[in-house]
Structure 1
Amino acid sequence: MATKTSELLSEAAPRAIAVVRAIRDDQLELPTPCADYTVRDLLNHLFQVLVNFQEMAAKRPPNWDKVDYLPEGWRDRFAAEAQRLIEAWADPAALEGVAPGMGLPAQVVGEMALIDLTVHAWDLARATGQPFDAAPAVVAAAHAFMDRMGDAGQRMGAFAAPVEAPPGGTPFDLVLARMGRQPTWSPR
Structure 2
Amino acid sequence: MANGLSPLLDGAARATDPVVRGITDEQLTLPTPCAEYDVRALLNHLFHVVVGFQALAAREAADFTTTPDYLEGDWRTRFGAETGKLVTAWSAPDALEGVSPGMGIPQPTVAQMVLGDLLVHGWDLARATGQDYRPDQAVLDEVQPAVEDMAPMARKAGVYGEEVSVPSDATSFEKVLAATGRDPRWSPR
* Fold shared by both chains (TM-score > 0.5): yes
Residue identity in the other structure for 2:61? P
Task: Measure, in 2, the Cα distance between the counterparts of 1:100 and 1:47.
Answer: 22
Residue identity in the other structure for 1:126? R
Look up the SS of the partner of 2:61 in the other structure.
Answer: coil
Residue identity in the other structure for 2:45? H
Give the structure-2-normalised TM-score.
0.95
Task: Measure, in 1, the Cα distance between the counterparts of 2:108 and 2:60.
Answer: 15
Task: Measure, in 2, the Cα distance between the counterparts of 1:133 and 1:106.
Answer: 27
Could you say which residue in structure 2 is the equivalent of 1:10? 10
Could you say which residue in structure 1 is the equivalent of 2:30? 30
Unmatched 5+ residue regions in structure 1? Answer: none
Task: Percent identity, please.
Answer: 49
Give the structure-1-normalised TM-score.
0.96
Between 1:166-175 and 1:127-136, the stretch displaced more is 166-175
Structure 1 segment 9-88 matched on structure 2, within 5 A: 9-64=9-64, 65-88=66-89
Task: Measure, in 1, the Cα distance between the counterparts of 2:81 and 2:100.
Answer: 23
Task: Measure, in 2, the Cα distance between the counterparts of 1:86 and 1:70.
Answer: 21
- The structure 1 segments of at least 4 consecutive aligned residues displaced by more than 3 Å after TM superposition are none
Look up the SS of the partner of 2:95 in the other structure.
Answer: helix
- RMSD between aligned alpha carbons? 1.2
Q: How many equivalent pairs are there? A: 188
* Compared CA separation, residues 168 and 147, structure 1 to 2 (3 A): closer
Task: Measure, in 2, the Cα distance between the counterparts of 1:56 and 1:148.
Answer: 21
Q: Which has the higher helix share?
A: 1
Unmatched 5+ residue regions in structure 2? Answer: none
Could you say which residue in structure 2 is the equivalent of 1:97? 98
1:50 touches 1:81 (CA, 8 Å); kept in 2? yes
Between 1:141-150 and 1:129-138, the stretch displaced more is 141-150
2:6 touches 2:87 (CA, 8 Å); kept in 1? yes
